[in-house]
Amino acid sequence: MDSFATSTAAFESWLHRHYDYISDDIEIADLRNSHEGRGLRARNDIQKDTVLFRLARDHILNIRTAALGKLKPGNQEVLETLNQWEALILCLAYEMMLGEESQWSSYLAVLPEKFNSLMFWSSEELEKLKPSNVLQRIGREQAEQMYSKLVPEYCLRLGSKKLVEYLTLDRFHVVASIIMSYSFDVDDPEDDPEDDAQDGEDEEEELEIDQECIKYDGYLKSMVPLADTLNSNTHLVNANLSYENDALVMTATKDIKEGEQIYNIYGELPNSEILRKYGYVELPASKYEFAELPLTVIKQTFVENYLSSMDRKIREALFDKTAGLISESEYLDESLEDQDGGIVLDAYEVFADADVLPELLLLVQILTTFYESVETDSKWAKKLARTRSELEAFINRCILKSFQLVEKKIITSKCVANLYKCVEGRIAQYGAAQDYEIPASYREFDRAELAAIVLRCEVNCLRNVLNNFPEKYERIDDSKLLKNVLKRKAEADAHKHKKQKP
């Protein structure tokens, strides 16, 4: 037996000693040949709805069960003032430091030491993921800030000087990455909503809580041995973990044939996110691919395609002012009750089925209406660029008329053309990645190949918009809308002019 098989065997015997029920129809499989590490496999045919295993809550690892929470009185309360990540990182690191003395040692021995997730990529390797927006979500800085907060202060508050020495920044990244790829958010059975109602502001002040903390979350980030042995596949998922009062239950959601792998789903994630968090990709793509269209590309498209007689700097400033006014629009605020953040976002998701966010369509329709209007009169455009109140009044007209249209799933031809130009502008940023051919089957991919697969999946989503933009949007000619918008502006001007006369 190699050390991989020995650790698996020790883990299995630990599981059988500690867990309520594990079906004889499942086994932990060595899937190193298919680059999946360990996984769960069906030993026999399994019928849909069969319980695969049941785990008592006191055998999952979180702040309530971990040794650190019991190290000294008051630790539970201190941990509860932290956020989920911070608390579980400290608890898991402490168990790892205890080694053989930890009640979880056989479980800890099967957790990985090496990662392919983006936190562990060098800057040269990350460069290969440009221009994907996933690069903005790696969170190295936030992780380092969290480290400075916890070490040494919280290790000492929790009574462990040794943890200060053990938890180096490198180890911190390892522990955080294990949590990122292995943990579950499990509802907290001790969370009593009535308690929350009684917890007044005084108590909050007493604990100096200035941010999200476990106390009010109603769930606990937890390590769930065996449930985390399941690999994930967005297409082949055939099992699901559910939470009962005192136990966690893994159930087959489909009939599973003998020898087949039992898959969970880690989330409805595109390959970029699967790579960021878990260090692998699905072929040829995840079921939930999306690309992102950044606001910077929308800005570039409108700046480059309109008002060419104006200086580029003025055009850029005009776009920024316009976007600012759209994001501050009270009318949109009231009309779009469930969209707290407004419609001007840093980036817009573009999905694999060629659908785009309604916020993106509305923004492009408003911008199109605005730019097509001001394009008719360059003098007026220059004046608008200088006079905020006039710009605001006109933008508000464009917002109103565009909203009324898009609300009825109608958009103008020029809006579609501008959307396509934005998407083409984004595709152009992918350079050679546009032509990469996604491999048909798995092999051990190096990081450059993983990056290329992610980029090509994003390009495919963007291309889909150009080829299959949903027909649910009726398209009309722009002229009627423009006439309407400009007519109202003229009336408003005339009205204003009249009012100014004594």
Ligand X SMILES: C[S@@+](CC[C@H](N)C(=O)[O-])C[C@H]1O[C@@H](n2cnc3c(N)ncnc32)[C@H](O)[C@@H]1O
> Where along the sequence are the contacts to ligand X (CB under 6 A)?
35-39, 181-182, 228-229, 231-233, 278-280
Query: Least distance in Å: CB of 277 to ligand X?
Result: 7
Query: Least distance in Å: CB of 430 to ligand X?
Result: 24
Q: Find out whether 134 and 281 touch, Cβ atoms under 8 Å.
A: no
Q: How far apart are CA 290 and CA 270, in angstroms?
A: 6
Please say which residue, 280 or 394, places its beta carbon nearer to ligand X.
280
Query: Least distance in Å: CB of 335 to ligand X?
Result: 42
Please say which residue, 239 or 415, places its beta carbon nearer to ligand X.
239
Q: Find out whether 354 and 469 touch, Cβ atoms under 8 Å.
A: yes
CB closest to ligand X, residue no: 37
Query: Least distance in Å: CB of 441 to ligand X?
Result: 13
Alpha helices in 137-245 (DSSP H): 140-149, 155-157, 161-166, 169-182, 193-198, 201-206
What DSSP assignment string belongs to 139-163? -HHHHHHHHHHIIIIIHHHTT-HHH
Query: Least distance in Å: CB of 188 to ligand X?
Result: 21
Alpha helices in 35-189 (DSSP H): 67-70, 75-81, 84-98, 105-108, 123-127, 140-149, 155-157, 161-166, 169-182
Please say which residue, 194 or 444, places its beta carbon nearer to ligand X.
444
Query: Least distance in Å: CB of 280 to ligand X?
Result: 4
Query: Least distance in Å: CB of 263 to ligand X?
Result: 7
The pairing of strands 410-412 and 474-476 is parallel
Please say which residue, 148 or 242, places its beta carbon nearer to ligand X.
242
Closest listed residue to residue 230, CA positions, set 248, 206, 204, 203: 248
Query: Least distance in Å: CB of 287 to ligand X?
Result: 12
For 230-387, where are the E strands, in sequence order? 231-232, 239-243, 247-252, 261-264, 290-294, 347-351
Question: Which residue's structure tokens are 């893994």?
Answer: 250
Q: Find out whether 249 and 240 touch, Cβ atoms under 8 Å.
A: no
Please say which residue, 263 or 394, places its beta carbon nearer to ligand X.
263
Name 65's Cβ contacts closer than 8 Å, sequence gap at least 6. 58, 59
Give phi and psi for 218, each to the nearest 5.
80, 5
Q: Find out whether 155 and 167 touch, Cβ atoms under 8 Å.
A: yes
Q: How far apart are CA 420 and CA 418, in angstroms?
A: 5
